[in-house]
Chains A and B, each alone.
Chain A
Amino acid sequence: MKLNVFDEIDFLPALKAFFRGLNVPINYVDDKPTSVEKILENTYKGNESFGLINDVYFLGLVDDATFRGNKSLEIDQIKSDYDGILIFGVTLGNRQNGLLPTRSQLAEISRAFNREFFYTPVVVVFRYDKYLAFANTERLKYKDNREGEKAGKVTLLRDIDIRQPHSGHERILAELAIHKQGKDRVDSF
């Protein structure tokens, strides 16, 4: 798993290359970033966590059809709670005195994305200093049958050194790779 691509090219092309390396097919829309206020209209808070965010990139959508390389469901056959995952890339600045973002700060941002997009799960990939972090948020049904899902526990893989990744991090990332052939072949998201 080569992460030094994040040091060599811009964040979004590097993210694309990274997910290509994992054999994760993604529908792309835009390479340009936007501000966090425009994305998190309802969940943005003016606190230190959100103040760390520089840019937000929308990498794209992963769904079954992208895996199979064929046509997606017709639009009128899609249910509102859509079977897919949105992937965002977020670049962060450091805290005061050059400290790295904390676990709770990364979790707060990741949870905000999942609250904002409550129909579709969101995976957030953070880039800060020379590190990466991956955040996946557990999503639960509302008890009162409300539409959408609520954001729960956040699972983080953080402080992954781009230049010298820890072998444990490397192993975990390698395990994310999708097998395209053989008995362990994956053909759905």
Chain B
Amino acid sequence: MSLERYRQDLLAEFNRDKEKYHQMPKGVYTGFTAERKSSVYYDLNDGIIALLGYPAKPVKKLDHQYQVFDLIYIDKSGKLILKNQKEVLDLLTLYRDNERFVPDAIDRGEPVEVTNLVNALKNWLTSQAVQEEEMEDGSVKKRMGNETIEILQGLKRGNRASIGRIKQNTTVDDKYQLNNFDLITWFLVTV
């Protein structure tokens, strides 16, 4: 999966005003209204597009490098709307000329609205570590989450990234904690 097309777009934008982007703090956000377009074949929902970096940058470390970036588009319940980062980049490219739109309540930082977004991210993180399955007797059984399943599928293909992930010797439950990720930037999508 080549991301070169997006890389070129990013570089062009970055070169236009390097200084502005260098000074931008982490966690900056924006948003847009995703009106229906004929080229969008999937169902869009209100949600967040988030760029997460792992592991989170320690407070005093200046030369921190993230091992993994996750670019996700999730709905308010934390469920993935698009399945991979290429689809998310396609979506962003499609709507990149739209005017900024973020609901006032979010811009004002109203706790209830912000908490909803935090919960959506928490739910996504949890789903990476654990899935819940309702059994016939009504009890709930915890099952492997998405990340372990993806690692195992990668091992079947001899995928080096999967082997690299196992070698970190970090369990998914330890990894997918809110504090272990930096929210580098996020977009609020309103449909």
Contact = CB atoms under 8 A, between A and B. Distances in A.
Contact of A117 (B148, B149, B155): B155
Given A33-B143, A34-B144, A119 B155 contact: yes
A42 B170 CA distance: 28
Interface size on B, as a range, is 20 to 34
B171 A28 contact: yes
A50 B156 CA distance: 19
Nearest to A63: B167
Interface string A7-28: 0000000000000000000011
A31 B155 contact: no
The majority secondary structure among interface residues of chain A is loop
A148 interface: yes
A129 interface: no
Interface residues of A, number: 35
A76 B167 contact: no
Contacts of B2: none
Interface of B: 129-130, 142-145, 147-149, 151-153, 155-158, 160-161, 163-173
Given A72-B167, A75-B161, 18 more contacts: A27-B166, A27-B167, A27-B168, A27-B169, A29-B148, A29-B170, A29-B172, A30-B147, A31-B171, A32-B130, A35-B143, A65-B167, A78-B163, A82-B158, A84-B163, A118-B156, A119-B158, A120-B158
Q: Which 5 A-B pairs have the closest CB atoms?
A: A119-B158, A34-B144, A80-B158, A30-B148, A75-B164
Interface of A: 27-35, 38-39, 41-42, 58, 60-61, 63, 65-66, 72, 75-76, 78, 80-82, 84, 86, 116-120, 147-148
